[in-house]
């Protein structure tokens, strides 16, 4: 998962598995995973991290400018993470900002009837949370 931000290629779980498998033999005492990435898709990141975690040699993630989001997930599968003090490392999750129009719409006489399903659904949209109904 290395390369400049201008790179036009995608690293897939199969590609990583193929590279590591071809490099591993009884002489290999450890792996250095070179990472410089803002992240990637959750499933691919999980697949790559799972594969790396199950390799039976010491593993070190070497971070250049960034290992955030899915790239951090991959780095965390290693035994150690080595990074410059200026590297961006971490940040698994989602940040979403939105405007709340609830009061403005009330003044205009507009009613909102939202719906959410599942106990882990927490984002109510830009209307507000007071009108949300719980689903099944």
Residue 2: band (very low, low, confident or very high) from pLDDT cuts 50, 70, 90: very low
CB 112 within 8 A of CB 102: yes
Q: Which homologous superfamily does the CATH classification assign to the domain defined by 13-90?
A: 2-enoyl-CoA Hydratase; Chain A, domain 1 (3.90.226.10)
**pLDDT tens digits along 37-65:** 988 888 889 999 999 998 888 999 999 99
CB 63 within 8 A of CB 40: no
Q: Say what the pLDDT of residue 67 is.
A: 93
- Does the active-site annotation cover 69? yes
pTM over cut 0.85: no
Domain limits, the chain: 13-90, 102-134
CA angle 79, 13, 51 (to 5 degrees): 35
- Catalytic residue selected from 18, 69, 76, 129: 69
Residue 13 backbone phi and psi in degrees, to 5: -55, -40
């Amino acid at each position: 998962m290395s390369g400049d931000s201008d790179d036009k290629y995608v690293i897939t779980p199969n590609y990583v598995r193929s590279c590591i498998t071809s490099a591993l033999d009884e002489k290999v005492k450890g792996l250095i995973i070179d990472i410089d990435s803002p992240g990637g898709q959750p499933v691919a990141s999980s697949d790559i991290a799972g594969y790396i975690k199950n390799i039976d040699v010491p593993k070190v993630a070497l971070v250049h400018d960034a290992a955030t989001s899915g790239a951090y997930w991959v780095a965390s599968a290693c035994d150690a993470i080595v990074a410059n003090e200026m590297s961006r490392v971490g940040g698994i999750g989602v940040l979403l900002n939105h405007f709340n129009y609830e009061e403005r719409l009330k003044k205009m006489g507009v009613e909102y009837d939202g719906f959410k399903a599942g106990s882990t659904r927490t984002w109510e949209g830009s209307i507000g949370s007071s009108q949300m109904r719980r689903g099944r």
